[in-house]
């Protein structure tokens, strides 16, 4: 495959993506709404943009956009971010060094940084594949599921999520999504018979009682959320989720909860295990070294949410980490934005880290020790 074209408005004389182009790419991505299950327009745009940057790019049958650039016979690196956002319109605008828009942090900023870094990483002598996956914000993670089933196992994988340009994330809690649906004969509100709405509320109480101590800020504890509850005395549904720590027995939890429910149906909508990378793996080392070369002190963290890293780590035992510019506290926020300086540093860190990863042998067996259920 030919090297990326050194088009003046895209690349500097040294072959790096210009900051003006990087900012324009991200702004255009923000201008294209892409809530979950409606990512097609953005995927098509990015296929064209990556082709113009020298990638071989296309949209796959699932809707993922995939761009590949080959610069030698070295290792295969997969950079995977996601196209979709939660619903909500935020007018796209720049102010005081910030770029606002739905997905600026979660996670169009990290995906745009990956595209720009891959185009700039002329020191990398191998294969780089950038994936914009669909439906990460949904329980099924359909895009990442398709990639792990159809894409060749890479030698290294970096997931694009907002960590901040000086932070690398080593792992995430798992997630168990549950739905409880119950129906009861219609009766007067004063009837002593159980009501569907009351049984749905009782399901939530039973779940919290079974779990005991919980916490959304502690990696070693489960975190529990009542996502929704609706209905009436005759028919009600509760949707619940549990963020699970490493080693958590989801089957035992589901069995215990079912035993507490006298009627109704409890359905496991989705379940993915926690994952935690070795901080000494090559992906983490390359990223932290690149952060230092940007004159910053690297930090490594664990996250209590869940990402496509969980999905891929279930089947790929390769060096893996999560990295991307942006502040994760702004995920899904009404004022979601990204600091442009952080974005540009993220591009530089990723491009530098890719250069370092060239030294890896292909088909490297070392990697991520994923948590077992």
Among all residues, which ones are annotated catalytic? 84, 136
Are the C-beta atoms of residues 266 and 254 closer than 8 Å to each other?
yes
Measured CA to CA, the distance from residue 326 to residue 135 in angstroms comes to 20
Measured CA to CA, the distance from residue 72 to residue 361 in angstroms comes to 12
- The residues with which 338 forms a beta bridge, in sequence order, are 99
- Among 69, 51, 40, 52, smallest CA distance to 132 is for 40
- Sort 27 into a burial class: Cβ within 10 Å, 0-12 / 13-18 / 19+: middle
Are the C-beta atoms of residues 302 and 171 closer than 8 Å to each other?
yes
- Name every residue whose Cβ is closer than 8 Å to that of residue 24 and which is 6 or more positions away in sequence: none
Which phi and psi (to 5°) does residue 81 adopt? -120, -170
Are the C-beta atoms of residues 304 and 74 closer than 8 Å to each other?
no
Q: How many CA atoms lie within 13 A of 183 on its CB side?
A: 1
3-state helix, strand, coil split of the chain in percent (to 5) is 30, 25, 45
Q: Respond yes or no on whether the N-terminal peptide bond of residue 39 is cis (omega within 30° of 0).
A: no
Opening angle at CA 181, ends 177 and 182, nearest 5: 155
- Among 147, 212, 205, 153, smallest CA distance to 180 is for 205
- Among 82, 79, 85, 84, smallest CA distance to 67 is for 79
Measured CA to CA, the distance from residue 173 to residue 305 in angstroms comes to 6
Q: Which two tokens stand for residue 124?
A: 């990398």
Are the C-beta atoms of residues 35 and 86 closer than 8 Å to each other?
yes
- The residues with which 235 forms a beta bridge, in sequence order, are 183
């Amino acid at each position: 495959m030919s090297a990326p074209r050194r088009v003046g408005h895209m690349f500097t004389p040294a072959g790096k993506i210009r900051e003006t182009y990087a900012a324009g790419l991200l702004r255009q991505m923000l201008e294209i709404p892409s809530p979950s299950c409606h990512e097609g327009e953005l995927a098509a745009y990015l296929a064209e943009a990556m082709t113009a940057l020298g990638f071989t790019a296309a949209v796959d049958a699932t809707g993922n956009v995939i761009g590949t650039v080959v610069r030698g016979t070295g290792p295969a690196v997969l950079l995977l971010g996601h196209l979709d956002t939660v619903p909500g319109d935020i007018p796209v605008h720049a102010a005081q060094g910030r770029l606002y828009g739905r997905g600026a942090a979660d996670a169009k900023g990290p995906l745009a940084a990956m595209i720009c870094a891959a185009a700039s990483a002329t020191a990398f002598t191998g294969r780089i594949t950038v994936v914009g996956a669909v439906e990460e914000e949904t329980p099924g993670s359909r895009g990442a599921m398709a990639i792990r089933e159809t894409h060749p196992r890479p030698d290294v994988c970096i997931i694009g999520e907002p960590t901040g340009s000086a932070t690398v994330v080593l792992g995430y809690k798992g997630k168990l999504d549950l739905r409880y649906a119950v129906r009861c004969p219609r009766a007067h509100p004063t009837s002593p018979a159980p009501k569907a709405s009351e049984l749905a509320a009782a399901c939530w109480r039973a779940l919290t009682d079974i779990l005991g101590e919980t916490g959304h800020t502690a990696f070693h504890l489960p975190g529990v959320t009542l996502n929704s509850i609706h209905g009436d005395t005759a028919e009600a549904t509760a949707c619940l989720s549990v963020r699970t720590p490493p080693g958590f027995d989801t089957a035992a939890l589901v069995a215990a909860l079912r035993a507490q429910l006298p009627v109704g149906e409890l359905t496991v909508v989705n379940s993915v295990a926690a994952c935690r990378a070795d901080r000494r793996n090559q992906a983490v080392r390359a990223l932290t070294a690149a952060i230092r070369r940007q004159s910053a002190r690297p930090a490594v963290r664990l996250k209590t949410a869940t990402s496509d890293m969980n999905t891929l780590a279930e089947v790929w035992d390769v060096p893996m980490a999560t990295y991307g510019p942006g502040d994760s506290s702004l995920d899904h926020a009404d004022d979601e934005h990204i600091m442009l300086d952080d974005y540009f540093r993220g591009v530089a860190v990723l491009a530098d880290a890719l250069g370092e990863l060239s030294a890896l042998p292909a088909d490297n067996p070392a990697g991520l020790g994923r948590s077992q259920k």
